[in-house]
Amino acid sequence: MMRTRPLKVALLGCGVVGSEVARIMTTHADDLTARIGAPVELAGVAVRRPDKVREGIAPELVTTDATALVKRGDIDVVIEVIGGIEPARALITTAFEHGASVVSANKALLAQDGAALHAVAEQHDKDLYYEAAVAGAIPLIRPLRESLAGDKINRVMGIVNGTTNFILDAMDSTGAGYQEALDEATALGYAEADPTADVEGFDAAAKAAILAGISFHTRVRLDDVYREGMTEVTAADFASAKEMGCTIKLLAICERAEDGASVTARVHPAMIPLSHPLASVRGAYNAVFVESDAAGQLMFYGPGAGGSPTASAVLGDLVAVCRNRLNGATGPGESAYAALPVSPMGDVVTRYHISLDVADKPGVLAQVATVFAEHGVSIDTVRQSGKDGEASLVVVTHRASDAALTGTVEALRKLDTVRGVASIMRVEGE
């Protein structure tokens, strides 16, 4: 039987995402009612600038007192799309304490304090859903923690930031340098005026922490994620990648150790073979590649940001939380029973592409090969070119630990015949 009393929703934030959430709640009201089993009513919208005209939102719903809104007691669900750590953390906690469940798109907060927020939600028997926090419209969080709940996930590797993928794709397809590609992304609205969070990997690292925690039933915080930005990637790196039949992507990689005793989470640029599904992800799109014992290999692909795509994920969570509310139940909470240790980056094993500037004279290759051997790093291929006393030496290794490779590079820098290390790039997806 359809319930006639509406479920009341408080919206915190009415920017690009929040305004789309409000619009869809209005334009799709009948469909949402049918899917939930009760009407949903926008009961209040907390904003910083109350005088701004917001189409489709009644002025009497707008308030600058977000705390009072979440404390009302008649609110069933709070949607938080303001971002940042505070006041979002305090508002979400207050919402739970006053009887509301929460839908959030706040990746930074969840990566830093997800465990604490889950604990408060559980204490008050309320839901905390956050599909929109990772990869925009792509259904990812729910498949990982529900559809694959009976499986063992071993690896999650993906492109989870549209800005960086647009920049790297432009560099790959046009031969542009980093700054030129960034300027294009900014002009087209794909990059913020200050792109630091994207290009230095902070955004992707927060998402990696969330994905690793869900995938491995282990608490993984932002501080546990190794992060390396993409500002040093050059056109020369793409030329080298093409010679190997690869391209370059900024990847978030979460994986279980081979012995299953630990996990790692990292974000960095990497070469991946053109044959890998992630290599074909173009423009500002996102994609996440999941490997598990029973399901095998799965890929989730789609728009990873923007008002409408992110609002789609928020509304999906809203429907689920409202259904739970009507049924007197809650959905999945935090699952951290495995409590696996998070290994440092030095323990990560992968392949490497190292480009060296060396003297063009006999014996250089032998010296370089000796250094690799002394540090237990096996060489797969070597390419050398040069003239007039200077040369470029490109070494591709077999799988080695990051610690071993770091020691190798430090020793190489001490050789008189090595003028410099032009670039070091990890090789993934093989």
User: Which residues are tagged catalytic?
Assistant: 207
Cβ atoms of 64 and 82 closer than 8 Å: no
Strands 379-387 and 349-359, sheet pairing: unpaired
Alpha-carbon gap, residue 212 to 263, rounded angstroms: 8
Cα torsion 24, 95, 35, 334 to 10°: value is 110
DSSP states along 257-312: -TTSS-EEEEEEEEEEETTSGGGG--TTEEEEEEEETTTEEEEEEEE-SSHHHHHH
- Residue 419: count of CB within 10 angstroms of its CB: 15
Write the DSSP symbol of residue 6. Answer: P
Distance CA 423, CA 73 (A): 57
Residues contacting residue 3 through CB under 8 Å, at least 6 positions apart: 37, 38, 39, 326
One-letter amino acid identity for 119? A
Task: Find the length of the chain.
Answer: 430
Strands (E), 56-188: 62-63, 77-80, 101-104, 128-129, 153-159
